[in-house]
Amino acid sequence: MLRRRGTRRVCNGGKVMRKSHILLVSAAILLCCEPSHTGPVKIDNTNDPVQLCSFELPITAEFRGTNFAWIAPPSGDLFYTWNGGGNWSEIGKDTIGGFLMLRFADENNGWAINWSGQLWKTENGGQSWYRLGDDSDPSIPSFAPAEDFKFIDKLHGWVLGPFQIWRTADGGLTWQTYSPPTYYGLASSFFLDPYEGWIGCGYGIVYHIENGGERWEEVMPGPEKNKASEEIEFTDIFFISKNVGWVMGVRGELFRTLDGGKNWRPLSFSIPGEGWFINSIYFLNKNEGWAVGWGPDNNVYENKGGIVLHTADGGVSWKEVDIQHSKSFYELVHFSDSQNGWVLSRRNVYRTVDGGKTWGNVLQLPPPPPL
């Protein structure tokens, strides 16, 4: 299961800042721009050089087995395949008002949050959608501030907001709200089952959630235990069991636990140089894992700088993998087994069926609409 990342703001040399998805959409609409991209901004009446700032919503994706995949690019449309990328069907963004986040429990049952924060459901793999609740229904809140979104099965799901989480036990018909004992900013999540999960925060904090949100345990994976670090925000989490998991910071900090979060070992992505950003991690077992991101001093709209990494020892060491497609920015990675995997860039979807030895471009996504 792949999570949606915060919208990236790229300004003057590529500094990355997290922003809430739908708040950005609202601002873009107010500015009379397409929600997927706002144009260059010129600072007039100064002697400063022109400043260019680009906003774009992230790509979101879900995978089930080796053949089923659903991809929602920044345009808000939905593309889905049932045969490993051999064929794709497209559902227009107007179907639900822009696909922003996706989650599927199996090949048929899925949920989507649209640009307005509404929750939608499909029971036929994405072919048709219906809305859960309406604007007057208090049992389904607006998920406009959503940062992350997970469904464990047909009934149990979670939505992560910046200040709280929502939990459903009836497939999204009703929701309960839970809040952390101390607010550090909620940025990412991973749920092992309907009752237990992990939430990545700022200040070097990770929350361990049990009993469906009734119990929150504050964990500090960093080297200085019991001391919060303002420099670390955990933006990706991955667990393969109750004991074995990884958390990753926005600057590429990586920690692994083998005992359910009691102890953590700091790891490194082993990339020469500085300024690398790792966007997504995925582990098949306690040894084999993948990571993707982009490189230093890189304009993400040029065809250079993307990086794909593989580990065979649980993240202790990493090797770069040449997927033979030069792209500037790799957004997400997913493997259903040791042979079948997917890597997503901002404009393309790549698939391997031989463990990463070769990669085919199975989908070219549409560019953002012109300004």
Q: Is residue 300 part of a domain?
A: yes
- Is residue 330 assigned to a domain? yes
Give residue 41's Cα distance to chain centre: 27
The amino acid at residue 98 is G
Element (H, E) at 28: helix 21-30
Kindly report the pTM of this predicted structure.
Answer: 0.82
| Chain centroid offset of residue 327 CA | 19
Q: Is residue 303 part of a domain?
A: yes
The C-alpha atoms of residue 219 and residue 197 are separated, in whole angstroms, by 13
Please state, in angstroms and rounded to a whole number, the distance separating the CA atoms of residues 107 and 174.
23
Q: What local confidence, expressed as pLDDT, does residue 9 receive?
A: 30
CA distance 91 to 103: 16
Residue with tokens 């208090």: 138
Is residue 272 a part of any domain in this protein? yes
- How far is residue 276's CA from residue 269's CA, in Å, rounded to a whole number? 10
Q: For residues 84 and 80, give the distance between their C-alpha atoms in angstroms, rounded to a whole number.
A: 10
Residues 19, 6 contacting (CB under 8 angstroms): yes
Range of the domain at 328: 268-371
Does a structural domain hold residue 327? yes
Q: pLDDT truncated to tens, each residue of the chain (371 aa)? A: 444 444 333 333 333 333 444 444 444 433 333 333 333 323 233 343 333 334 456 789 999 999 999 999 989 999 999 999 999 999 999 999 999 999 999 999 999 999 999 999 999 999 999 999 888 888 899 998 898 899 999 999 999 998 899 999 999 999 999 999 998 889 999 998 999 999 999 999 999 999 988 999 999 997 665 455 667 899 999 999 999 999 999 888 999 999 999 999 999 998 887 778 899 999 999 999 999 998 765 555 444 578 999 999 999 999 999 888 766 789 999 999 999 999 998 889 999 999 999 999 999 998 766 65
pLDDT at 27: 41
Contact (Cβ atoms closer than 8 angstroms) between residue 220 and residue 204: yes
CATH number at residue 343: 2.40.10.500
Structural domain total, the chain: 1
- The answer to whether residue 28 is domain-embedded is no
Q: Give the pLDDT score at 142.
A: 92
> Does residue 357 form part of some domain?
yes
